[in-house]
Structure 1
Amino acid sequence: MRSRIAICLATSLLAAGDAPPTLRITGAIAGGTVGFDLEALRSLPQAGLETSTVVTDGTHLFTGFLMRDLLEKVEARGETVTATALNEYIVDIPISDFHNYDVVVAYEMDGKPLERADKGPLWIVYPRDDHSELQDIRFDYRWVWQLSGLEVR
């Protein structure tokens, strides 16, 4: 019941014409279209992930929430998520990734908020150092920085 209330609140914020949401979710979810601001996303159970990336030096600590927790919250029903970035980058990601791996949607790196000018405010991050199969270029394409939208299909 609590998740439905949060979905209704997020939807009403989107409809009220306030600032655009940080993340918009559409498609096969409860409520049709949901918008979350950063504060609402930070209220999800927090997850941390220490890993390297192909676009930064060394290992970093990413803080955010698990993608599967977000999909559960919006009652996603589908097999694919199409992720869209602010720079209009688009990629399809199998929902099975989010059940097989602890994929984090990060809003902080090394304790500092991700800024739009540097991969923020949201970045899909895979635990690549924990699973050798994630060090494949097919998974690198799924690391969406400046994440702004998800469509569940």
Structure 2
Amino acid sequence: MMSRILLAVFLCLPSIPATAADLPSPTGPVVLTVTGQIAHTNADGTAQFDQAMLDALPQRTTTAVTPWLEGSHSFSGPLGSALLDAVGADGARLRVVALNDYAADVPAQDLRDFDVIFATAIDGQALTVRDKGPLFLIYPFDERPELFNEVYFGRSVWQIVRIDVLE
């Protein structure tokens, strides 16, 4: 009987969730650092991502009119919810920080409820710092017209370099 229990426990081991050490390390330049209440890290208590790591996450394309650009554009990049899952985020609030230290607080639930993306490309072209890259938080404004207002515009940070998972 005891051997059957031990065998059952042993067989279940591969299904135990990944540990913090299982987040791969970036091999290219780091474009995003995630800190705070996260379970999966790869660099001194933080989760660092290069472009290839971001590209490996589940992706989404959102076509939308925004107040920052003329006309409708196609934004693509990793789903915010996939990024939260990758780092094992355990917080209700995100502080999204831009290259120039501008920061906005974003409810973590927004990333799950609205299919928010961290756009890495616009109209098929990689975002650069010059055109709001490397990452631009985009809500699906055309699919969810109720999001087209100042509250969500303020949360749509561009030139993102860091996300702090809080509370």
Q: What TM-score, normalized by structure 2, do the two folds share?
A: 0.81
Percent identity over the alignment is 36
Q: What's the C-alpha RMSD, in Å, of the aligned pairs?
A: 1.8
Structure 2: how far apart are the matches of 1:148 and 1:101?
A: 22
Return the match for 1:46 from 54, 59, 62: 59
Which runs of 5 or more residues in structure 1 are unaligned?
Answer: none
What number of residue pairs does the alignment pair up?
Answer: 146
- Is residue 25 from structure 1 mapped to residue 28 from structure 2 by the alignment? no
Who is 2:144 aligned against?
Answer: 131
* Preserved contact between residue 47 and residue 64 of structure 1 (Cα < 8 Å): yes
Which runs of 5 or more residues in structure 2 are unaligned?
Answer: 1-16
Moved over 6 A (4+): none
Return the match for 2:48 from 35, 48, 54: 35
Superposition deviation, residue 132 in structure 1: 2.2
Structure 1: how far apart are the matches of 2:137 and 2:126?
A: 14
For residue 104 of structure 2, give the secondary structure of its aligned residue in structure 1.
strand
Over alpha carbons, which structure has the higher Rg?
A: 2
- Is residue 89 from structure 1 mapped to residue 98 from structure 2 by the alignment? no
Structure 1: how far apart are the matches of 2:69 and 2:81?
A: 25
Q: What TM-score, normalized by structure 1, do the two folds share?
A: 0.89
Structure 2: how far apart are the matches of 1:3 and 1:41?
A: 19
